[in-house]
Amino acid sequence: MSSSSELELGLVGDVGGTNVRFALVDLSGAAPRLVGAEAFLCADFATLEAAIEHYLRRAKAYGPRPRGAIVAVAGPVTNGAAELTNGAWRMSVSGLMQAGFASAQLINDYAALALSVRHLRGDDLGQIGPATPVAGQTAAILGAGTGLGVAAALHDGASETIAATEGGHIAFAPTGELEIEILRHLAGRFGRVSLERILSGPGLVNLYGALGRITGRETPPLEPEEIVTLATQGDNALCVETLDRFCAIYGSAAGDLALTYGARGGVYLGGGIAPRLLPWLRRSAFRARFEAKGRFAAYVQPISTQVILHPYAALLGAATALRAGRPLEDAASAAHVA
């Protein structure tokens, strides 16, 4: 390993609704390499800058203070500024510059995740279904967590363009009578029902409540983590049904995005939920619903579906952008919102 005096370091961050992750990036090699990655609770800090200072004090041993920073955020990035959709922080490039960085950028967290895909190998991924990823082709990324993020790494055969979108807010498309009833129930609460109303942590709670009401069962208040735990332990039939339906709808949405983007390079699931549910996703209707595209079933069948297991994948993507010195314009970095 190079000594700290030989390292050229940058800072990358990944700000979600609950956690913030940081790492230093060794910019001296042929590929981005994360150094000293750590995660913290956003609630423990009043501002992004305060969280950065806390991290950099802990990371002093790795080398001098970085001069450049890229921070991926789970919120809209407009004119160099962003607010957390599901949090209190307000962030800006100017705030990062005032904190001592010579260059700084905010990008969408799913733009960063899309940039990471080319670097993920082996244990970084968990496969669902038999299809094999195809290099050099367009890949779609979606992920259920605090919200539902959607992006794509678009390939034209010669170059890559990253597109972050508002795809988490396309309308929920029910399949079958039960899902039509779920839509009716949620429409009574929310009016328009987006995918994020189901495919997210809060969405899992919405789905649990809808299924309970439709089937006439009591629904004691549960957090998303409790629904998953009770389902995986087999202790609650309604939670099992909720998780089964969640995975089925997730598969339908992933297949729709495969068609939307022509994602022959694969569909990748990010976010905090899919890694925990990987065994369940594999035995669920996820893949069957992914492929159930009528006249276009043969189109999606060869497309791989993979869960991103790398704990700092968005940091790796941000490191890729930092090392390349490539700006991701605000228009291309539109975020998902709740």
Whats the size of the chain, residue-wise? 338
Q: Does the pLDDT at position 117 exceed 90? A: yes
Structure tokens at 192: 């328009």
- Annotate 54-88 with DSSP letters as a single string: HHHHHTGGG-SPPSEEEEEESS-EETTEEE-TTSS
Name all domains of the chain by residue range, CATH numbers in brackets: 4-115+313-331 (3.30.420.40), 121-309 (3.40.367.20)
Give SS3 for 302.
coil
Residue 290 has pLDDT above 90, yes or no: yes
pLDDT tens digit sequence for 222-258: 999 999 999 999 989 999 999 999 999 999 999 999 9
List CB contacts of 162: < 8 A, sequence separation 6 or more. Answer: 111, 114, 115, 151, 152, 153, 154, 328, 332
pLDDT of residue 21: 96
Cα–Cα distance measured from residue 145 to residue 42, given in angstroms and rounded to the nearest whole number: 15
Confidence of residue 33 (pLDDT cuts 50, 70, 90): confident
Quote the CA–CA distance of 161 and 27 in Å, as a whole number.
22
Query: What's the pLDDT at 331?
Result: 33
Q: pLDDT, tens digit, for every residue of 46-57?
A: 999 999 999 999
Please state at what angle helix 237-261 crosses helix 201-215, rounded to 10 degrees.
Answer: 120
What are the structure tokens assigned to 114, written together? 């899309």
Q: Residue 26 — pLDDT band, cuts 50, 70, 90?
A: confident
Residue spans of alpha helices (H) in the chain: 48-58, 93-98, 109-116, 177-190, 201-215, 224-232, 237-261, 273-283, 286-291, 297-300, 313-324
pLDDT at 4: 45
pTM for the complete prediction?
Answer: 0.90
Tens digit of each residue's pLDDT (9 = 90 or more) over 182-235: 999 999 999 999 999 999 999 999 999 999 999 999 999 999 999 999 999 998
CA distance 200 to 182: 15
First to last CA, the chain: 43
Provide the token pair at 118: 């080319």
Sheet holding 77-78, edge to edge: 77-78, 81-83, 90-92
Backbone angles phi, psi at 150, to 5 degrees: -140, 135
Distance of CA 240 to the CA centre of its chain: 24
